[in-house]
């Protein structure tokens, strides 16, 4: 099988539908079958997605078909919009109060429905300062009750301290990805594993060349389509 890398973008609250359409028009000219592109626009954009052959996903969803959950979106609406991919456990949502138990509940609910899940894990600066063993134990706790054997589950390692600041070092990424893969193997599972946290055109190639890195999840660098395309091209250079 042809080698394949996953390049994902989380646009957070950014982009109107018009700006997203402009982004997608440029992106469409730069797609390559060796890259799987996953894009997570804000919820409003999901109703007016541009025509672009990538996998579109939601940044959040409530684990219910429908119901009285103000501000949330559920499976009934996502299905109607033909959205079958979901970001779960991003540190910005955990900071808003989403517990590990709730993230696990979301994973299980949407796995039952056959969605592709990108499940984020990552430690704080305080835990990182305590050393790699503390990091490993914390990440292990974030794998609790997650259906790691679900074939459409993708993990994303996103150290909180590296988001919107400066990427983890190559050594830290290599070591931590090896640790996460080992934690999954110990449970008999081998999900794909992305790195996220200040991935930019100038560091993407080195990160994507690492053995245990199956792709990247990009935040701010995805807001400029030329930068995102450069990250894609960096990935292609590693194949
Ligand atoms: C993110 O928030 O998922 C992210 C990776 O952001 P950034 O690339 O800006 O660090």
pTM: 0.97
- pLDDT, residue 61, reads 98
Q: What are phi and psi of 10, to 5 degrees?
A: -110, 110
**What's the pLDDT tens digit per position in 117-161?**
999 999 999 999 999 999 999 999 999 999 999 999 999 999 999
Q: Is 91 in the pocket of ligand 1 (CB under 6 A)?
A: no
Ligand 1 atom at shortest distance from the alpha carbon of 200: 8
- Which of 170, 166, 161 is CA-nearest to residue 200? 166
Task: Evaluate whether 36 touches 5 at the Cβ level (below 8 Å).
Answer: yes
Q: Is 220 in the pocket of ligand 1 (CB under 6 A)?
A: yes
Q: Is 218 in the pocket of ligand 1 (CB under 6 A)?
A: yes
- pLDDT, residue 138, reads 98
DSSP state of 31: -
**Distance from the alpha carbon of residue 71 to the mean position of ligand 1, in angstroms:** 23
- pLDDT, residue 2, reads 60
Rounding to the nearest 10 degrees, give the CA dihedral for residues 92, 46, 105, 8: -60
Neighbours of 155 (CB within 10 A): 27
**What's the pLDDT tens digit per position in 50-107?**
999 999 999 999 999 999 999 999 999 999 999 999 999 999 999 999 999 999 999 9
In Å, what is the CA distance from 150 to each residue of 33, 57, 71? 24, 18, 28
- pLDDT, residue 3, reads 62
Catalytic member of 2, 72, 76, 90: 90
């Amino acid at each position: 099988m042809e080698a394949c890398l996953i390049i994902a973008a989380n646009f957070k609250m950014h982009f109107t539908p018009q700006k997203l359409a402009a982004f997608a028009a440029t992106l469409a000219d730069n797609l390559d079958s060796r890259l799987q592109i996953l894009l997570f626009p804000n919820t409003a954009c999901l109703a007016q997605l541009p025509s672009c052959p990538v996998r579109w996903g939601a940044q959040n969803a409530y684990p219910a078909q429908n119901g009285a959950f103000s501000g949330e979106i559920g499976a009934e609406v996502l299905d109607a919009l033909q959205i079958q991919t979901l970001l779960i456990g991003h540190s910005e949502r955990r900071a808003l109060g989403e517990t590990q138990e709730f993230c696990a509940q979301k994973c299980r609910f949407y796995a039952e429905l056959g969605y592709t899940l990108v499940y984020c894990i990552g430690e704080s600066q305080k835990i990182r300062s305590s050393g790699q063993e503390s990091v490993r134990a914390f990440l292990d706790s974030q794998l609790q009750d997650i259906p790691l054997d679900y074939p459409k589950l993708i993990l994303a390692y996103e150290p909180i301290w590296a988001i919107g600041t400066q990427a983890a070092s190559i050594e830290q990424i290599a070591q931590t990805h090896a640790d996460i893969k080992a934690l999954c193997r110990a449970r008999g599972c081998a999900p794909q594993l992305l790195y996220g946290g200040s991935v930019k055109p100038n560091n993407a190639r080195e990160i994507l060349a690492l053995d245990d890195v199956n792709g990247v999840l990009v935040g701010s660098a995805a807001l400029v389509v030329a930068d995102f395309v450069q990250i894609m091209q960096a990935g292609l250079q590693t194949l």
